[in-house]
Structure 1
Amino acid sequence: MSSLDLGIIGNGTYGALIDKWARIVWCCLPRLDGDPVFYDLLNKGPDGSEPPDENAPDQGFWSIEIENAASSRQFYRPNTAILVTELTDRDGNAIEICDFSPRFTRRERIFQPMTLVRRVRPLAGSPRIRIRLRPGFNYGAQAPSITRGSHHVRFFHSGFALRLSTNAPLTYLLDETIFNLTNPLSFIMGPDETLTGGVEETAREFEERTEDYWRRWVRRLALPLEWQQAVIRAAITLKLCCYEETGAIVAALTTSIPEMADSERNWDYRFCWLRDAFFVIRALNSLAEVETMENYLRYLGNIVGSAEEGHLQPVYGIGLETRLDEHIVETLPGYRGMGPVRRGNQAYEHFQHDVYGNVILAASQSFFDERLLQRATMADFERYEKVGERAYAMHAEPDAGMWELRTRARVHTSSSVMCWAACDRLARIAEHLGLMERARHWRRLADEIHATICKRAWNEELGAFTESFEGDQFDAGLLLMAEVNFIRPSDPRFQSTLLAIEKSLRRGQHMFRYATADDFGVPGNAFNICTFWYIDALARVGRTDEAREIFESILACRNSLGLLSEDIDPATGELWGNYPQTYSLVGIINAAMRLSRKWEDQV
């Protein structure tokens, strides 16, 4: 059965997932939310712990296999997005496969083509290999038309074509023949365009320049003293989840990986949730990586500029699409056969009022940060004020909440807190701009929302804030009250709420979103970002040793390449949910930055 022990490569245009046997099992083209040309992850592919079965009639993958495979070793080149897989056969013969997406500066701009490069070379002995390249189109419904050139193969379907240029024997590739690997081979798959140089020299140049780019990018990061490798891998992966043409940030690269086994909690996360994106840019900003924020603010400005009466959806397409109609894909059985496979996400129709706070929080830094190439203007402030007015209007209205409940609406406390954050930050921005009348206006609205939350979300009998107004349940979103400065961590009300959340939602070292039944029953797996919120809350109230212990335990749940999905089975530690999950990677960065010893205390 498939697993989420997968590497990711990408360059800000597209992304691909590769298993430990060097099979590309997921890759959407021509962009992050496109048609999965390689889709074996959702096609009941082989057991990721075993070498591929040469007789398996599966489709939607690209493998470079060593005959009689016995073991594999996979790792990233240090401080890069270049993935290396070493395969060894039963007799000790070995090969190395290097996978990457070109990304580097060319002619004073980032060169990031829709191109995937695979380089394979013998490492030991006399290895024999086979190449199986089996793309598909329309979510596996159609096979491509294939034409052969002198040194390339063309895969075509319905106006979209991919060209593979290679110095490998095309006959062996097309017939999937096993042959002796005596010299390095390179494969460059991308748009149907002729290479300007030779295959080997082009692949080598792309690899060298891509490696140099990522090493220099990492060098600029302001890292914590501890857990540096975990932070670096999380930061690079967050960067790969950015669609840089527009500035959008996807929540994950995949669709329909279940939140738990046979739960039907299968969603398409290849879109830009304004909530998730805010947390991404804030985490990267903490590492002094502001370019992603600048790109995202371009995207956000387009959304806010076209918002009618200040209304915002919680999620948009990466090309600013507003309709993300949800459909069931009948042609794919799903991860481990656990369908349904969904394309699109109904959440675009939801009312989730926390979105207004997330938008203003994301935009706030652009009014204060002197490093930015393009600072926010007065016109920007006026546009964001419309968002704030909507936040005020909605702060005590029912919504689907941040957990996107599909059949139940309440006045969710976390949504109202974010509406307060919108008004609070607008007051601060106005004061910074010298607009004292507007500052007083927004402070008055923020204070009103604050008082409403303290009155209606506080349950005197339970001695804690609850997940909804006049409620008696808890959710992990309440932990954000301290993170957005709604309430001080030292406030007895926050500390008693933290204790209530621990009692209700903690399972071992993991935290659940909530513990009550929703549209699909009672949740069975922990939501990783909630555990990180819990770690943050513990640190804020002075329980640092506990926070460090839990942080170390969740780091141990990462896969072999240091990555996390959305959910974890608290009993087994197995990863579930869409992958790689930006929220979870944000948690790694935030926890490390908060808990790490200071540089000045060590060096």
Structure 2
Amino acid sequence: MTRHSYDYGVIGNCAYTAHIHKDTNIAWMCWPKFDSSFIFGKMLDTEKGGNFCISPSEGIKRTHQYYIENTNILCTEITSASGSYRVTDFAPRFFQQDRYYKPLMLIRKIERLDGSPNLVVRCKPKGNYGELDPEPSFGSNHIRFLGLDSAVRLTTNISLTHILDEQSFVLNETKYMVLTWGPPLEAALEETSESFLIKTTKYWQGWIKSANIVNFYQRNAIRSALILKIHQYEDTGAIVAATTTSLPESPGSTRNWDYRFCWMRDTYYTLNAFNNIGHFEESEKYFHYILNTTSEENDRYQPLYGIDGRKKLVEEELPLQGYLDNQPVRIGNDAYTHIQNDVYGQVLVSLLPLFNDMRIIFDERYNTPELIFKTLKMIEKTFDEKDAGLWEFRNLAQHHCYTYLFHWAGSSAAIKIARTLKDKKIGELATKLKARSTEMIEKCYVPKKKAYAQAVGVDRMDASNLQLILMNYLPGQTQAAKDHLKAMEKELHAGDGLFYRYLHEDDFGKPESTFLICAFWYVEALACVGRIDEAQSYFQKLNEYSNHLGLLSEDVNAKDGSMWGNFPQAYSHVGLLNAASRISRKLDKPDFID
């Protein structure tokens, strides 16, 4: 059985990302924001998606794709009958004039490696999700694409005629292509491209050098950290779950969702990963996003918001072919209308390091007791509600154990914040809510299984309850934690460390794929209860479910190891990074240093 893999590398600069196939085609790129229409979208429609590729006229013999070490700069080497060449793709990002320079600019450098490669360049951007074909127009050394929401220009030293007519040419010198949205490149093409490449390389390698990344599977952890970083939309501080939409959780499942938004829940886990590696800038930026997004919310918080703080994320279906003909193709996400009450605790726990970690100089923390108290009051107000849970059930409302766990964790965080703020009112309310949350969690306990079920009144297991161990509600050294873990793995472990979220039928039937974040939670839980050899062994196997660059999808088919779901999934890379940190802390010496 052939394993399905996402054969793409991803570049980005915290303003946009691009998915680049092993054949050099940019198969997915949204401009000007993560949640805008694609400008290149062949991933979802081979006809309407447009393309931007640099192909040998005789066809590809071999391809090799890799990142420049410790960067988000991607190299794709192509071998054909006439010769070989390298395409280096990157989104410029570096510190300049007291701020980060991160333009809507894609730079492609094409170098001859051997022979006399005969190439064809195709550049056909699209607008309005494939419905708009911009008109190409000659400039002096550039092509303008007219009709999009802003000026799009391709500046290059390749013959414009060859590009527009898709004529082949011999690559006998280094070529550059700079695609811009808005302000065009006005400086010298070669000098600027090379300067930006050097500066961007130094930025990413410096960012990694300043991170506290453990030695355990360090190379994998570094790649996860780099990928997570470009999931933050730096302009507002929002962190997206993924930069793609409608990649199916399993073929034909119709579980095709748009993940280009900021989930409060996902962000908690992502910030936890950044805190583990000693990077706090992302937390500070997210704090401002939270303040701006929730300032006018007085009744409840949504589970997710747009990266610009937008509340309405109306779900629509588009007339597109879909990834490998999997429909529907959706934009927007109806989950914004859901009641998911774990969100309040996640906001509080996400903000805790800003108030409790004295390494962070953060003056604003002393001026925000209103946000903390308001969030606690929302827990109190919604405490008895049934909700959709973290898996966002559309037709099943319950008193979820996971929701009350985050009421407990959020209240615990608020108690610590209250000490920092010296705010008695916050401390008293948080203490009361923590006790109430404990009572509800205990109502989920199933004596015959010695474990905590998905919700009050049911006995089915749910992988989210691994968090009872990871968040120290059930301390790992206790028998209660060990019993709970055994019950969980008995029902949900798919083998080789893979883990199902749950196995009961939901609105779309019975889940077919395992969920990678749950697998990494399982590995963490094994480490917590002292089963460290199993944790290491399964961690090693889970890394084998990545693609050729170490990038992880959302889901894995347990039968053949196929990658499915949106890609790359921030959740999955968070899981890897946090599991590596957890295992490393449990080991006296790291045994598996690659």
What's the TM-score bracket when you normalise by the shorter of the two chains?
over 0.9
* Cross-structure match for 1:53: none
Alpha-carbon distance in 2 for matches of 1:550, 1:222: 23
Asked if 1:216 is matched to 2:218, the reply is no
Q: Is 1:327–2:329 an aligned residue pair? A: no
Contact 1:224 1:599 in 2 (8 A): no
Residue of structure 2 in register with 1:463 after alignment: 450
Q: CA deviation at 1:294?
A: 1.0
1:242-262 alpha-carbon deviations (Å, 9 max, x no partner): 100000001001000000011
Conserved 8 A contact 1:366-1:375: no
- The CA deviation string for residues 141-163 of structure 1, in whole angstroms up to 9 with x for no partner, is 11112111010101122532211
SS across alignment from 2:202: helix
Scaled by the length of structure 1, what TM-score is found?
0.94
Q: How far did residue 420 of structure 1 move? A: 1.6
Task: Give the 3-state SS of the residue equivalent to 2:577 in structure 1.
Answer: helix
Partner of 2:491: 504
**Does the Cα contact within 8 Å between 1:392 and 1:449 map onto a contact in 2?**
no
- The one-letter code sitting in structure 2 at the alignment partner of 1:464 is A
Alignment partners' CA distance in 1, 2:361 and 2:63: 45
Letter in 1 for 2:456: F
Other structure's SS at 1:204 match = helix
Q: % of aligned pairs identical?
A: 37
Q: Matched residue of 1:229: which SS?
A: helix
TM-superposition CA deviations, 1:457-476 (whole Å, max 9, x none): 11223332110011111100
Q: Letter of the 1:325 partner, please give it.
A: V
Aligned to 2:410: 422
Written as runs of structure 1 = structure 2, the 5 A alignment for 1:155-166 is: 155-166=145-156
Q: Which residue of 1 aligns with 2:432?
A: 444
Q: Which amino acid aligns with 1:235?
A: A
What is the aligned partner in structure 2 of residue 22 from structure 1? 24
Quote how far apart the aligned CAs of 1:446 are. Answer: 0.7
Give the Å deviation of 1:483. 2.0
Match of 2:54 among 43, 64, 67: 64
* Structure-2 residue corresponding to 1:490: 477
Shift of 1:58: 7.0
Please show how residues 536-575 of structure 1 align to structure 2 within 5 Å: 536-575=524-563
The answer as to 2:143 corresponding to 1:153 is: yes
Q: CA 1:266–1:113 in structure 2 vs 1: closer, same or farther (change >3 Å)?
A: same
Query: 1:424-459 CA distances to partner (integer Å, 9 max, x unpaired)?
Result: 2111221333334642442122112212321x1112
Q: How many residues align?
A: 587
Could you tell me how far apart the structure 1 residues matched to 2:393 and 2:110 are? 47
Where does residue 313 of structure 1 map in the other structure?
Answer: 302
- Please name the residue that 2:104 is paired with: 114
Corresponding residue for residue 356 of structure 1: 344
1:194 Cα deviation from its structure 2 partner? 4.1
1:54-85, Cα deviation, whole Å (9 max, x unpaired): xxx67421000123220000000000111000
> 2:90 aligned to 100, 120, 131, which one?
100
Give how far 1:303 is off: 2.1
Indicate whether 1:89 and 2:77 are aligned. no
Whole-Å separation in 2 of the counterparts to 1:373 and 1:490: 35
Which residue matches 2:65?
74
Post-superposition offset of 1:306: 1.9
Matched letter for residue 345 of structure 1: N
TM-fit CA distance, 1:316: 0.2
Tell me the equivalent position of 1:48: none
2:41 to 39, 42, 54: 39
Give the deviation of 1:220 after TM superposition.
0.2
Describe how 1:122-521 pairs up with structure 2 within 5 A. 122-309=112-299, 311-330=300-319, 332-436=320-424, 438-454=426-442, 456-509=443-496, 510-521=498-509
1:121 is displaced (CA, Å) by 1.1
Instruction: Tell me if structure 1 keeps the 8 A contact 2:477–2:530.
Output: no
Query: What amino acid maps onto 2:382 in structure 1?
Result: M
Structure 2 unaligned segments of length 5 or more: list them: none
- The answer on whether the counterparts of 1:224 and 1:598 sit within 8 Å (CA) in structure 2 is no
Contact 1:411–1:468 at 8 Å: present in 2 too?
yes
**Counterparts of 1:129 and 1:527, CA distance in 2:** 41
User: Structure 1 CA distance, aligned partners of 2:490 and 2:508?
Assistant: 23
CA distance in 2, matches of 1:417, 1:152: 57
Distance in 1, matches of 2:188 and 2:420, equals: 56
Task: Give the 3 Å change call, closer, same or farther, for CA 346–59 of structure 1 in structure 2.
Answer: closer
Give the AA of the match of 2:10.
I
Identify the range of structure 1 (380-389 vs 253-262) with the bigger mean alpha-carbon deviation: 380-389
Please give the secondary structure, in 1, of the residue aligned with 2:61.
strand
Once the 2 structures are TM-superposed, how far is the Cα of residue 228 of structure 1 from its aligned partner?
A: 1.1
What is the aligned-residue RMSD (CA, Å)?
A: 1.8
Cα distance in 2 for residues equivalent to 1:327 and 1:304: 25
> Which region of structure 1 is more displaced relative to structure 2, 1-10 or 538-547?
1-10
Q: CA deviation at 1:171?
A: 0.3
Counterpart-to-counterpart distance in 1, 2:71 and 2:172:
28
Deviations 1:528-574 (CA, angstroms, capped at 9, x unpaired):
00001111111100001111111100101110000001000111111
Secondary structure of 2:576 counterpart? helix
Q: 1:375 to 1:476 in 2, by over 3 A?
A: farther
Measured at CA, do residues 599 and 105 of structure 1 come closer, stay the same or move farther in structure 2, by a change above 3 Å? Answer: farther
Q: Distance in 1 between matches of 2:429 and 2:170?
A: 75
CA gap of 1:198–1:599, structure 2 versus 1, over 3 A, is farther
Partners of 2:523 and 2:73 in 1: CA distance: 31
Q: Distance in 2 between matches of 1:316 and 1:267?
A: 15
Corresponding residue of 1:54: none
Q: Deviations over 1:185-242 (max 9, x none)?
A: 0000012434332111111111111111111111101111121111111111101111
Q: Distance in 2 between matches of 1:545 and 1:302?
A: 45
Give 3-state SS (helix, strand or coil) of 1:377's partner.
helix
Which residue is 1:582 aligned to? 570
Which sits farther off after the overlay, 228-237 or 156-165? Answer: 156-165
Deviation string for 1:255-310 (max 9, x for gaps)?
Answer: 0000001100000000000100111111011101111111111101112322123x
SS of match in other structure, 1:113? coil
Question: Is the contact made by 1:226 and 1:597 (CA closer than 8 Å) also made in structure 2?
Answer: no
How far apart, CA to CA, are the structure 2 residues paired with 1:420 and 1:601? 34
What is the distance in 2 between the residues matched to 1:157 and 1:417? 51
Rounded Cα–Cα distance in structure 1 between residues aligned with 2:141 and 2:587: 53
Amino acid in the other structure paired with 2:435: D
Which letter does structure 2 place at the counterpart of 1:323?
A: K
Residues 337-380 of structure 1, C-alpha deviations (whole Å, 9 max, x = no match): 11100010000000001111110000111111223342443441
- Residues in 2 aligned to 1:266 and 1:315: alpha-carbon distance in whole angstroms: 17
| CA contact 2:532–2:586 (8 Å) conserved in 1 | no
User: Aligned equivalents of 1:389 and 1:58: distance in 2?
Assistant: 48
Distance 1:519 1:537, change over 3 A: same
Q: Structure 2 CA distance, aligned partners of 1:459 and 1:601? A: 38
Aligned-partner residue type, residue 71 of structure 2: T
Secondary structure of the structure 2 residue equivalent to 1:308:
coil
Amino acid of the residue matched to residue 347 of structure 2? V
Q: For the residues of structure 2 that align with 1:345 and 1:339, how far apart are their CA atoms?
A: 15
Letter matched to residue 116 of structure 2: S
Find the aligned partners of 2:182 and 2:308 in 1 and give their Cα distance: 23
- Conserved 8 A contact 1:81-1:214: yes
Letter of the structure 2 residue corresponding to residue 258 of structure 1: P
